Every structure is written in C-alpha cells, then in structure tokens.
Amino acid sequence: MTDSTGSRATAAIHAGELKPRPEGAMVTPIYQTANYEYHGEDYHDVGYIRLSTTPNHRVLARRIAALEGTEDALVLASGMAAISGALLTVLSSDDHILVQDTLYGGTAGFVAHDLPRFHISHSVIDPQDPASWAASVTPQTKAIYVETLTNPLVQMADLEAVAAFAREQRLVSMIDNTFASPVNFRPAEIGFDLVFESCTKYMNGHSDIVAGSVAGPAEWVRRIKVLHDHLGGSLDPHAAFLLERGLKTLDVRVRQQNASAQRLARLLEAHDAVASVNHPSLTSHAQHERAARLLDGFGGMIAFELHGGMESAEAFLATLTIPAVAASLGGAESLMVRPAAAIHSGLSREEREKSGVSDGLIRFSVGLEGVEDLEADLTRALDACRAAVPA
Ligand code: PLP
C-alpha cells in the first residue's frame, strides 16, 4: 500500500481541462446549449447533449480516464446507466455472464430480471474460490462482473484471479469500483477491462447529483457510447459541471475518509457493545492482507453489528446526533443505514442471511465531519446501548 500519489490529486483538478481556457475561465463553464453548429462531423460526434459531446462531457471523459488510468471514459446519467449500458453492449442474445454472489441491488436486479428478457443468462460465482469458476463457463460466456468492495459487507473478491481468469478464458472483465474510487484503487492497473463508478458517490462527493462513468479501452467506450446515443442516458451539462467541481477535491476527501474510517473501525472493534466490525483496515477482516496489497486506502465504508440485534441497532441509530439515517454513500455527511430495513428490504430474511446481512447489521458511510466529534458521538451512543443490553 502506498499513500495516494500527488499526480492523481493533480489529475483530479486539471486532467483534460479546456486549453486555451474559454475567455480565460478557470472553471469549465456550463455549456447549457442542446446543439452546436455542424462542421461535417460523423453523427456520433456532432455537438448535442444526448450524444455526450458537449465540452462539459468531453472534459469529464478525459479527466475520469486519467484518474482510472484507461484509454478512454464516458460519463453518463447515473451509475446504473453506465452499468446497464455496458452490459447491454458487451452481451447479446444467448450470451452468458459470470457474476459475484453479492452485488449492488440495482445491478443484481438488472442481471436477474432484465437481462433474461434479452435471452442473456448468468451464473453466480464464489468470489473467494477461483478454482470453482471454470465449471460455470460455457461457450456462450462472454464476461465476468465483480465489485471492488461489496455492499454492505465490504468484502473483496480475489480480484487478481478474476482479471487473470478473464484473460485466460477471453472474457470481458467488468468491475464496479464505486466503494473504492480511483483514489484507492485503479482496477485497470491489474488488468480489468471496464471500470464503473457511481459518480453519485465519492466521485462527486456532495450528495447533490446522480451520475456515472465507465472507463476502459477506447473501442469498448465508443461502443457503449453508440448504444447510449440511442438509449438516451446522457448527463445534463449542469450536473456535469457539478461533477467536475466535486472531482477537484476527490483525492483530499477520500484520503480524509480513509483515515477517519480506520479510526472509527478501531473504536467500534474495541467497544464491548459491538459484536462484529467489517472494515478492510482491520486485521480481523477476512481479506485484510489482499486489501492492504491492492488498495492505496481502505475506504470510508464500515459494516458492523451490535450485541442485541435489530433492537439495539434501532436504539443506537436513534441516539446518534451526527450521522443521519439514510441510504447512498460517499458524501460529506456521515450516513448510517440498516440494510435489512432499506437497501436489502426487497430480499427475504433467508436470502439476506445467506448473503451475511443480518437484521441488526449497520452500514456506515463515514463523512468529513471532525473525526473527534464522530468518535464522541459513537462512544456516547454505544455506551447507552451497553447500558440497555442485559449482561
Ligand atoms: N454501484 C454501487 C456500488 C452503488 O452503491 C450504487 C448506488 O447506490 C450504484 C452502483 C448505482 O449508482 P447510481 O445510483 O448512480 O445509479
């Protein structure tokens, strides 16, 4: 593990900026114009918001490619627009994809319920057991899909094995890097083909837009763009402007969140009201060694359980004064949510338990508040829980 590089912080601020600066403007202006004068370009390059060809889109595409270390990138209307558009580009009727056992709910739902309508099937793989993957490959298998750190348990697949397996089997490797962000991990560096970010989260970092990106080889990005030129999932220039503003502080925000989350994970682990804590920085985390080797930072997401299950979790959440109870993640505000009651409420208790999501599990998106204030707030609420649970 290394500290985040200076060059990445510089890229987040300057990569791909317009030169010369329009009218000397230090910030890319919002090009709030639907269409542009025609100069004989190919249809897909004509200036038009739906075609993602405005200066706001082009600056962002260059900046995100620089951050991810890929040939090209495309910014879209949401993380799901990037993920669904890429899956529909890579896969055709009768194709098959391998997917990790726990995925973000929107992606899992798209794979399980929407892709079959296009005659695209999937098999679920155990992300920790590379030797078992080949048994699921068929002549129709075209891709493999994983997440850098899973939601909500922050577990890490054997990512090096996934990239190597995809090369061996000639599959397109796809990875959702939202929980890590390119500050903590650049999947292309270990050989992943297509990298997704829900830019709604850390990339923008201010909980005020929905956006997404896909980064990878120029030819794949071009093909995904051509599909989205037809699907119409482009980002509005005003949201693009906000995303560019958010990206400028990505490096400093994520490094602060890494540091605060590490301190808070240790505090939670040491408190006797807490039954278990998942954060890749902890040596007790099942993939700690892998995370320490591959990541530049362990991220700002923690999952933990209190003694006393759901009742303790509810009482704890009600006692906190700083973290708000809300889904989503990666913003300046600390958020906590009980996945069983919110993001995983669509699953049966049996399905949730199978994926390790107990009713009492709490997911914590560590924000940018003073870490001492968060420590004091958590300690007070944990002490109150300990007093309430009979020894
Ligand atoms: N990937 C992950 C890991 C997420 O948590 C989310 C949203 O919560 C998405 C993708 C989808 O992103 P969006 O809401 O921007 O479409």
Q: Tell me how far the alpha carbon of residue 339 lies from the centroid of ligand 1, in angstroms.
A: 14
Amino acid at 292: A
Q: Tell me how far the alpha carbon of residue 102 lies from the centroid of ligand 1, in angstroms.
A: 14
For residues 196 and 174, is the Cβ–Cβ distance under 8 A? yes
Provide the token pair at 62: 């260059």
pLDDT (mean) for 276-282: 97
For residues 350 and 293, is the Cβ–Cβ distance under 8 A? no
Substitution candidate for ligand 1 out of 75, 76, 80 with most atoms within 8 A of CB: 80
* pLDDT tens per residue, range 289-346: 999 999 999 999 999 999 999 999 999 999 999 999 999 999 999 999 999 887 766 6
Q: Tell me how far the alpha carbon of residue 79 lies from the centroid of ligand 1, in angstroms.
A: 5
For residues 304 and 274, is the Cβ–Cβ distance under 8 A? yes
- Residues with Cβ within 8 Å of residue 109, at least 6 apart in sequence: none
- Side-chain half-sphere of 272: how many Cα atoms within 13 Å? 6
Q: What pLDDT band is residue 389 in, cutting at 50, 70 and 90?
A: low
Residue 1 has pLDDT above 50, yes or no: no
Pick from 33, 24, 88, 84: nearest CA to 55? 33
Pick from 273, 255, 260: nearest CA to 374? 260
Q: Tell me how far the alpha carbon of residue 96 lies from the centroid of ligand 1, in angstroms.
A: 23
Q: Tell me how far the alpha carbon of residue 85 lies from the centroid of ligand 1, in angstroms.
A: 14
For residues 350 and 109, is the Cβ–Cβ distance under 8 A? no
Task: Report residue 389 CA to chain centroid gap.
Answer: 35
* pLDDT tens per residue, range 173-192: 999 999 999 999 999 999 99
Q: Tell me how far the alpha carbon of residue 3 lies from the centroid of ligand 1, in angstroms.
A: 26
Nearest-atom index, ligand 1, CA of 343:
8
* Residues lining ligand 1, Cβ inside 6 A: 78-80, 104, 106, 147, 151, 176, 178-179, 198, 200, 210, 212, 328
Beta strands in 210-361 (DSSP E): 212-216, 274-278, 301-306, 324-325, 335-337
For residue 27, the tally of other CB atoms under 10 A from its CB is: 11
CATH topology assigned to domain 8-247:
Aspartate Aminotransferase; domain 2 (3.40.640)
For residues 134 and 161, is the Cβ–Cβ distance under 8 A? no
Choices 3.40.50.2300, 3.40.50.1370, 3.20.20.70, 3.90.1150.10: CATH for 250-388: 3.90.1150.10
pLDDT for the residue numbered 346: 66
- Residues with Cβ within 8 Å of residue 283, at least 6 apart in sequence: none
Please name the residue whose Cα sits nearest to atom 8 of ligand 1: 328
Substitution candidate for ligand 1 out of 111, 148, 178 with most atoms within 8 A of CB: 178
Nearest-atom index, ligand 1, CA of 151:
3
How far is residue 293's CA from residue 233's CA, in Å, rounded to a whole number? 36
Task: Kindly report the average pLDDT of the chain as a whole number.
Answer: 95
Q: Tell me how far the alpha carbon of residue 374 lies from the centroid of ligand 1, in angstroms.
A: 25
Pick from 119, 125, 128, 129: nearest CA to 145? 125
Q: What pLDDT band is residue 6 in, cutting at 50, 70 and 90?
A: low
**What are the structural domain ranges in the chain?**
8-247, 250-388
- Residues with Cβ within 8 Å of residue 193, at least 6 apart in sequence: 166, 172, 173, 174, 216, 217, 220
Q: Which uninterrupted H or E stretch holds 137?
A: none
pLDDT for the residue numbered 342: 76
Residue 209 has pLDDT above 70, yes or no: yes
Please name the residue whose Cα sits nearest to atom 12 of ligand 1: 79
For residues 332 and 206, is the Cβ–Cβ distance under 8 A? yes
Q: Which uninterrupted H or E stretch holds 73?
A: strand 72-76
Q: Which uninterrupted H or E stretch holds 123?
A: strand 121-125
* pLDDT tens per residue, range 334-378: 999 999 887 766 667 777 777 788 899 999 999 999 999 999 999
How far is residue 125's CA from residue 143's CA, in Å, rounded to a whole number? 12
